[in-house]
Amino acid sequence: MIARQALGKGLGALIPEQPSSEFEGKKVFGTCGIEEIKPNPLQPRKAFADAQLQELVESIREKGILQPLIVRRKGNGYELIAGERRWRAAQKAGLREVPIIIKEVSESELLEISLIENIQRENLNPVEEGEAYKRLMEQFHLTQEEISKQVGKDRTTITNAVRLLKLPQDIRQSLIDGSISMGHARAFLGLDGPEKQRLALKKVLAGAFSVRQTENLVKRLGRKSSSSFSKKIQEWDPLLEELQRALGTKVRIIARGKRGKIEIEFYSREELDRIIDLLRR
């Protein structure tokens, strides 16, 4: 697919070093009235920090928009593919016209480019980033390895971001608004069930706990309800880590009395096939 090949080279593949009237037969440089552009309804980014946006507004007032917005034709105007933050700031700065690159893409390509563009620019909060990775895996059937190459991030970063989506909504919101950090959120994942996770959040917020204090709290809360069998699991941590490295994904041991199960996570059909192939070996 054309869009995926370009994205594999980074955002630079979308914008050549020197503007031209047309390149690769699909992209055209120019300018247009700012009111002709509509936002992308598939935009993965939902939150725009006022302070950071205002900094960009001041920069645009002083120097203008240094990098064109990427758009596609839509009706009598254009629809944003990438650059919504610049578009919003340009409106606040009072610009009448903005530089654009017109690129004809399908609906699926539009979403894929929007997701990867935001991830590469680190414009997303941790929850939005996790949701973006999940959509790339589910809607575009990309493996974590493929996403890692396209966005230039370590595979562990992708795994951890997707795992955050398992947390209850109120904990995810605390992460979005900055009440807790990624370290706090990852620690909560060590607790079994949303009730314990919410209890831990309440204690962390009340006591302004550090990440290390939160990790210790999670250990205490976990021990309160653990059976002798589940305590034994802690002795298997080195084996679990070795298994996770070998399979390249999250592995858990879930104990119920004297019985239990091993849970291996996967995020796409391709990744499941990869794990099965490793197990067969």
Residues annotated as catalytic (active site), given as ranges: 84
> To 5 degrees, how large is the angle CA 183–CA 186–CA 191?
130
Asked whether the beta carbons of 262 and 236 are under 8 A apart, the reply is no
Across-strand partners of 102?
28, 71
| Helix axis angle, 126-139 to 144-151, nearest 10° | 120
Residues 198-207: contacts with CB under 8 Å, at least 24 apart: 198/168, 198/170, 198/171, 201/170, 201/171, 201/174, 204/180, 205/174, 205/179, 205/180
The span from the CA of 242 to the CA of 238, in Å, is 6
The span from the CA of 148 to the CA of 135, in Å, is 14
Asked whether the beta carbons of 94 and 34 are under 8 A apart, the reply is no
